[in-house]
Amino acid sequence: MGNVRELMARLGPTTVKFDTGRGGTPDLTNQDIAAALGMVPAGLGRELLEACWWPDGAALRRHRLRDAVIALVTPELRRQQRKLADARTELGLAEVCMGWAGAVTAEQRAERDRAAHRLGQVKAQCWPISTLESLPTLASAVISEMATRPLCPRCEGRGETMSCDLLVLCVVCGGSGLGSVSDRRRAGAMGRDESTYRSKWRGVYEWLLQHMAEAEQEAAWAFMIALDRGEGAVA
């Protein structure tokens, strides 16, 4: 069937009739497509599927996409903050122990240095403080990339390929179904310069892209299965 996502374009305003086969015999109608879309489980994947491939429909429910993105990001932000708090506590305890009962020992200094090093590592892995403030821009940039980014030439957007009669994860795109995009383009989409993007925002962007692309891919599979079932029922 090719990329089933493209069928959703038929749900938008158009003056061209797409739902007839050869000789005027009905093939796959807009009603069939809409019904299949309705069978896709609600959640982030479905909202992204619509935002990327049926933006007119998604525009009617922007709050659902907003809530789904926030629900995706919140647990990760909390995890990072807990890890950061733990690292700060470890450093504080190491500093308190130094000289508690007299002279500072080499072992105490080494423990303090290890805790300080760990805190530095944790800070480097955490997202920028302004992540929540920048989330609308980040999400918009990721969605725009997903909607306009070329499909992976190996799997043609499916995220999986056949190998020895087995369906396996595409080794070229890692299962995302998408082609490559430069840091410069992503930085521009966020309104940042390339160096700032690489030093501060690349980790957030790539995390969002990975999780959002996975959710959209699952929704696309559900959409395709629903379409196949609908065609089988008509046949």
Per-residue model confidence as pLDDT tens digits over 52-82? 888 777 777 789 999 999 999 999 999 999 9
CA 221 to CA 185: how far, in whole Å?
28
pLDDT digits (tens, 9 = 90+) for 76-95: 999 999 999 999 999 999 99
- pLDDT number for residue 22: 39
CA 132 to CA 122: how far, in whole Å?
19
- Proportion of the chain above pLDDT 70, given as a percent: 89
CA 32 to CA 188: how far, in whole Å?
39
Enter the DSSP assignment of 130. T
pLDDT, average across residues 205-217: 93
Q: Which residue has the higher pLDDT, 83 or 49?
A: 83
pLDDT, average across residues 226-231: 72
Q: Which residue has the higher pLDDT, 115 or 56?
A: 115
CA 195 to CA 153: how far, in whole Å?
29
Report the candidate in 212, 182, 174 with the shortest Cα–Cα distance to residue 198. 182
Q: Is a pLDDT exceeding 50 seen at residue 1?
A: no
CA 150 to CA 178: how far, in whole Å?
6
Q: Which residue has the higher pLDDT, 15 or 222?
A: 222
pLDDT, average across residues 121-140: 95
**Mean of per-residue pLDDT scores for the chain:** 84
Identify whether the C-beta of residue 195 lies closer than 8 Å to the C-beta of residue 204: no
Q: Which residue has the higher pLDDT, 38 or 189?
A: 189
- 27-36, 169-178, 216-225: range with highest mean pLDDT: 216-225
Identify whether the C-beta of residue 216 lies closer than 8 Å to the C-beta of residue 159: no
Question: Reduced to 3 states, what is the DSSP secondary structure of residue 6?
Answer: helix
Which stretches within the chain are classed as H helix?
30-38, 44-53, 55-58, 62-97, 106-125, 131-148, 183-190, 194-196, 202-234
Q: How confident is the model at residue 12 (pLDDT cuts 50, 70, 90)?
A: low
- 72-86, 160-174, 219-233: range with highest mean pLDDT: 72-86
The answer to whether the predicted template modeling score (pTM) of the entire model surpasses 0.85 is no
Q: Is a pLDDT exceeding 80 seen at residue 2?
A: no
The residues with which 178 forms a beta bridge, in sequence order, are 151
User: Residue 74 has which token pair?
Assistant: 């919140």
Q: Which residue has the higher pLDDT, 120 or 180?
A: 120
